Amino acid sequence: MPCTSIAAICRFRISRDFKLSGTDETERLIKVVRSAYRNSEPLRIIGSGSKSFLGRPVAGTHLNVAENEGILSYDPSELVLSVCAGTKLREIVKTLGESGQMLGFEPPAFGDDATIGGTIACGLSGPRRPFAGSARDFVLGIKCITGKGELLSFGGQVIKNVAGYDVSRLMVGALGTLGILSEISMKVLPMHEVEKTLIHETGEQSALQDMTRWTRRSLPISAMSHVDGKLRIRLSGTVNGTRIAETLIGGDLDPDGETYWAHLKEHKLEFFDRSDSLWRLSLPAVAKSVSLKGDCLIDWAGALRWMYSNESPQTIFDYARSIGGHATMFRPDSQWSSNFFSELSEPVGRIHRNLKRSFDPRGILNPGILYADL
């Protein structure tokens, strides 16, 4: 029975599992991968294509995985959701919302047809990440097709099951280089009773100091960012809890707070309306203002900096590394020809290559998307 045949059934508040094995799409994908393995034929894995700008160009036969879709099981009382990897992110958000629940890592879609498989493969998380956890933290288990065409299962469907966690989480952010995601089990979170956003007019360095100060307090903060001289702090929790926090933090209420965070997550703010190359700097939250020339937006309470800069790529990579972080060329311009990711140290690079050989011995899955030799 194909996954799509039960998608409509699973839109309701169900507490029973629909067991599926060997779906039509999974069998098709396995056959394609096995053929490619025999012929050493590179494959470019494509879902909706909403995040195709990430990573190095891949030369290979397009393998569409978006049709492997459907919600397999959802038990609101257990806070667990299992889906086929091609399931649309918007369908998952809608289904969870009907039960007053959400994806805790607030993933960006970057497109109406974004799939959960692509979201997990890219390892993307939104503004809530430093306070609720990353995409990796919410993955309980996965089924994937290796570069040899083997269907493997790791992890489980319950929060207490820790078997295989490490392998499941290896797939998060691997950009499809270790396997084609077939099914994903995740923990979900209840929605908050109330959310509100506070605004402070302040400079960048002062904003960073305030972010550090408030994150050290036991307050119901779920997001903090700074751009264009404005520090925004989102509170999420109970009516009483957010009221107390609002009194402590001060500032003005932002009537458009919900829209701001949605636009920040999807890169629809005016800051992102540029054709220049966009850098993503993951830095220690306590780091000071970035000493690179360019425009900067601060997210994740200081741990994430989005930046446009004319500095050389190597200068940006070296700077991020020098202060204990790393840089990624997130969205390149049309002239980009340099590396997208910071160079790996020899020990780390060796681990990456060994993992690649174990899951994809002939290097046919998205070859070169991360690094030339992976």
Contacts of residue 109, Cβ cutoff 8 Å, sequence gap at least 6: 50, 89, 90, 119, 266
Under DSSP, the state recorded for 108 is -
User: Do 194-265 and 274-331 agree at the fold level?
Assistant: yes
Look at residue 147 and give its three-state secondary structure. Answer: coil
Mean pLDDT for all residues in the chain: 90
Q: What is the spatial distance between Cα 198 and Cα 215, in angstroms, rounded to a whole number?
A: 15
Q: What is the spatial distance between Cα 132 and Cα 134, in angstroms, rounded to a whole number?
A: 7
What CATH architecture does domain 274-331 belong to? 2-Layer Sandwich (3.30)
Domain ranges of the chain: 3-190, 194-265, 274-331
Q: What is the spatial distance between Cα 333 and Cα 276, in angstroms, rounded to a whole number?
A: 6
Structural contact between residues 20 and 89, judged by C-beta atoms closer than 8 angstroms: no
**pLDDT (average), residues 76-101:** 96
**What is the topology classification, in CATH, of domain 194-265?**
Alpha-Beta Plaits (3.30.70)
CA angle 163, 107, 142 (to 5 degrees): 25
User: Residue 207 has what pLDDT?
Assistant: 96
Structural contact between residues 196 and 246, judged by C-beta atoms closer than 8 angstroms: yes
Does 9 have pLDDT greater than 90? no
How does pLDDT run across 183-208, given as a tens digit for each residue?
999 999 999 999 999 999 999 999 99
How does pLDDT run across 132-158, given as a tens digit for each residue?
999 999 999 999 999 999 999 988 654
Model confidence at 287, in pLDDT bands (50, 70, 90)?
Answer: confident
User: Residue 13 has what pLDDT?
Assistant: 34
Which residue type does 310 have?
Answer: N
How does pLDDT run across 17-39, given as a tens digit for each residue?
444 433 458 999 999 999 999 99
Does 1 have pLDDT greater than 70? no
3-190 CATH choice from 1.10.10.10, 3.30.465.10, 2.60.40.10, 3.40.50.1370: 3.30.465.10
38: left (phi over 0), alpha (psi -120 to 50) or beta: alpha
User: Residue 157 has what pLDDT?
Assistant: 57
